Amino acid sequence: MEQRILGIDPGLAILGFGAIICQKNQNSVQHDSVNLLDFGVINTPAGTEIGQRLCTLYDDLHTLIKEFQPELVAIEKLFFYRMSNIILVAQARGVVMLVLGQHNLPTVEFTPAQIKQALTGYGNADKQEVQQAVARELNLDTIPKPDDAADALAVALTAWFQI
């Protein structure tokens, strides 16, 4: 059984995405496998009006969904970093949820601690440990950059581990 999972690390200035394709094998001879489809970020310039930045996210997310055709989307739950940033991230996350709803895509959400636990076995792992786990699980020679894309891949892998 093959499944495409799109992971999203929500943000207004930088929204990370990572797409993986997973294969669950029903027989005991072959192992389950996961492969990287693509990863990257959607950037919205700080000097641009907020409505335009949200429109960019909206349009680009539709394009990503059309390109990757995921069966499942995993998104990081809102986490309180800095109070000044939380409202902007919440607005971006709202756009993400709207687009996912428009495509009728099943969605799972994970806290940062759940993602760290799934990838490293330790809910308080640091960012470097999580990124190394992403590279290891996807058989990559280097850690995906930028960090937001690596975080999105971590969210997608967490969803895969939960299936």
> What is the rounded average pLDDT of the residues 108-119?
96
> What is the rounded average pLDDT of the residues 32-51?
96
Tell me the catalytic residues: 9, 76, 148
Q: Answer yes or no: is pLDDT of 97 > 70.
A: yes
Contacts of 64 (CB under 8 A, 6+ apart): 6, 17, 19
What pLDDT is stored for residue 85 in this prediction? 75
What pLDDT is stored for residue 80 in this prediction? 61
What pLDDT is stored for residue 25 in this prediction? 77
What pLDDT is stored for residue 87 in this prediction? 84
pTM of the model: 0.93
Nearest to 55 by CA among 109, 18, 98, 7: 98
What pLDDT is stored for residue 163 in this prediction? 81
What pLDDT is stored for residue 84 in this prediction? 65
Report the mean per-residue pLDDT for the chain: 93
Residue carrying structure tokens 């809102």: 78
What pLDDT is stored for residue 29 in this prediction? 56
Residue 159 token pair: 């969803």
Residue 127: count of CB within 10 angstroms of its CB: 14
Helix (H) or strand (E) holding 21: strand 14-23
